[in-house]
Structure 1
Amino acid sequence: MNNETILLVDDEPEIIKLMQIYMVQERFRLLVANSGEQALEIVRKEKVDLVVLDMMMPGRNGIETCLEIREHSEMPIIFLSAKGQEIDKITGLSVGADDYVTKPFSPLELIARIKSQLRRYSKYASSQSANDTIEIDGLTINSATHEVIVEGKPVKLTPREFAILELLANNRGIVFSVEHLYEKVWKDTFFEANNTVMVHIRKIREKIEADPRKPTYIKTVWGVGYKI
């Protein structure tokens, strides 16, 4: 029996009614939001295991909502969208979604994708649960609690920032290209002109380096990538 909580974010009553039927059959606990603002409020107050998120909504759209959720959580996010072009899917996945389903869709297929993402996330969470602590010259990284401490002071990183830092720290001395970092952390195929990794590296340096312009932890290997 499933007991996970699914948040469905959509402003179409027909889709909500349809998915309520299938969610009940699958024994999922279903929460419903009709807007991005309402979805964020629910995520802040409730334990949500997966979000099914309409990409196109009035007010705060799905992309903005996804980006906001990703600042605080790695829970699976599945986009629903009437846009089926490849560029739309790339956009959705690049902002942090784990899957993309085009409307009109099969409820059974969506349920299958939900179960697949929940299984994948459960394995990922289990692999991250070991109480490993990495210490590098005043920098402490706790993989179990996702805590980062620099010179005795706690530093708050987003889940993506933490994943990048943890990956580099676990492979100290190894140079990771931008493409390799993206594919490892985002679990997606890298595409040209994507500066997402560089932006995240800059933000990490601003938080952990005494002087981000002269980093002592995350080093740039020009023309190759980054390493610790």
Structure 2
Amino acid sequence: MSKILIIEDDLSIGEMMSIYLYEDGYEVKRAENGRRGVALFRDFQPDVIVLDLMLPDMDGMQLCTTIRQTSHIPILMVSAKNEVSDRVKGLQTGADDYLCKPFSMRELSARIQALLRRSNAFPSALGPTDEINAGNITLDLEKRCLYVGGKNIETTFSEFEIMKLFWQNQGRVYNREELLNRVRGFDSQVTERAIDVHIANLRKKIEIDPKEPRHIKTVWGVGYKFLPI
């Protein structure tokens, strides 16, 4: 049974999400503020976090950053803020998906299913224990770790999934829709602009000069590809 942690200060919305997801077969715990959310994150060890952007004691972006310092757990951010800039900022902070209020419980469940499906999948001829190297970059599939020059580089769930896909299919060009389907499945309504954000973040983490990338190359008018050298 997958475990879902909901961090939401609105009692009615939080209770509604908890009941619906419980009836969907998940083990659910809910926190009404960021401090309680951090405690449950450590004790409950959830498989997915549903995180409200506006919390009474801390900003949801701040909490997302805190969680990302120690975990790659999929994070679904929910908020009444629906501007593109808000969604982009959420993804840049470390969220793997962004759902605007009001939303249906059915869509919430679909988004969670997509995140769980991606986090549990290893659709490749490579086994999950394989470690792959390209110059000073190493990808450990079993530990879900990315190393650059021997240093462990923190990545979000979606960033790692994109990197894994690139690595297992070096030189192949992927368009934004293909990459979006990879990291979130077909249930997400998030704009393909999210992929550009993840690519920009990955370049900052693995490239010597993100403005002149050697590894993650743009194929103009098509998408992106990964080159080991």
TM-score bracket, shorter-length normalisation: 0.5 to 0.7
Contact 1:49 1:118 in 2 (8 A): no
TM-score, scaled to structure 2? 0.65
Deviation at 1:18, TM superposition (A): 4.2
- Aligned pairs, number: 209
- Once residues 89 and 139 of structure 1 are traced to their aligned partners in structure 2, the CA distance between those partners, rounded to angstroms, is 30
2:49 equivalent to 1:51: yes
Higher Rg of the two aligned structures: 1
- Please give the secondary structure, in 1, of the residue aligned with 2:193: coil
Q: For 2:8, which of 10, 14, 17 is the aligned residue?
A: 10
Contact 1:181 1:197 in 2 (8 A): no
Query: 2:154 corresponds to which letter in structure 1?
Result: L
| Matching of residues 126-205 of structure 1 within 5 Å | 126-128=120-122, 130-131=127-128, 132-137=130-135, 139-148=137-146, 153=150, 155-159=152-156, 160-174=158-172, 183=180, 187=184, 188-191=190-193, 197-205=199-207
Contact 1:161 1:201 in 2 (8 A): no
Identity %: 21
- Once residues 4 and 221 of structure 1 are traced to their aligned partners in structure 2, the CA distance between those partners, rounded to angstroms, is 36
Q: For 1:82, which of 80, 83, 101 is the aligned residue?
A: 80
CA RMSD of aligned residues (A): 4.0
- Once residues 148 and 84 of structure 2 are traced to their aligned partners in structure 1, the CA distance between those partners, rounded to angstroms, is 42
Which protein has greater RCO, CA pairs closer than 8 Å, 6+ apart?
2
- Once residues 41 and 153 of structure 2 are traced to their aligned partners in structure 1, the CA distance between those partners, rounded to angstroms, is 19
| Structure 1 alignment gaps of length 5 or more | 206-211
- Once residues 22 and 172 of structure 1 are traced to their aligned partners in structure 2, the CA distance between those partners, rounded to angstroms, is 41
Deviation at 1:201, TM superposition (A): 1.2
Structure 1 runs of 4+ aligned residues shifted over 6 Å read: none
Contact 1:161 1:204 in 2 (8 A): no
> 1:90/1:145 Cα in 2 relative to 1: closer, same or farther (>3 Å)?
closer
Query: 1:200 corresponds to which letter in structure 2?
Result: L
Deviation at 1:6, TM superposition (A): 2.0
| Structure 2 alignment gaps of length 5 or more | 185-189
Query: 1:119 corresponds to which letter in structure 2?
Result: Q
